[in-house]
Structure 1
Amino acid sequence: MVEKLKGFLSRFYIGLIILFLYAPILVLVMLSFNNSRSRVTWGGFTLQWYGKLFSNGQIMEALVTTLVLATASALIATVIGVLGALGIHAMRQKNYQIMMICTNIPLLNAD
């Protein structure tokens, strides 16, 4: 009986955490299609706000800049990561162990 209660409480707790994390996002997405200028009342479904968003030149320029920077940083990080992995793999056994200890230090430190 106690184990069932613990299981229920743990699932309930995780459910609450997920609800508090994702409910505001879902509300924001739903309200982005609201036809009313007020965020309190539902005025019907519309795509006019997205039309205004994509017709704004400054926002589209910021989007392009964001996508270029994200792609470039992901590419650079991938190249550095692959080169580092190849370098670590090519090390001798003693140097490899030292490198693995050094790379695990941030995982062991709390902050």
Structure 2
Amino acid sequence: MPGSSVYLPTTDFNWTERAFALYAQGRLTVTEHTADGVSGVVVSGPCPRCDHHFVDRRSLDALTGLAGVNRNGEGEPSDLILLDVTCGCGIPHEGAPEGATGCGVSFRIELKRL
């Protein structure tokens, strides 16, 4: 349930569905950017499980010419961006292992490349 403060490492698909709903509502945002020829994204908003605010920054193609989840069979950028995100809200959660930075939930966001 959203707002849970207990740490739970989970990848249950319902968190991906909740993330999609938050994205559709404009509460969870994904911003794509390019700097010095390297594309990246910033995912920001409430965690779909604990509802605490988090910011996830990542590069999409720091290593060019390699095939992967965000590239097609020829190694070119795909029209879709698949992001596997783990809560990094920084709020202490009951039962969390030392060094954990969120509630433990991981979810996927799928977007069309701009």
* TM-score, structure 2 normalization: 0.19
Greater relative contact order (Cα 8 A, min sep 6): structure 1 or 2? Answer: 2
Higher percent of residues as strand:
2
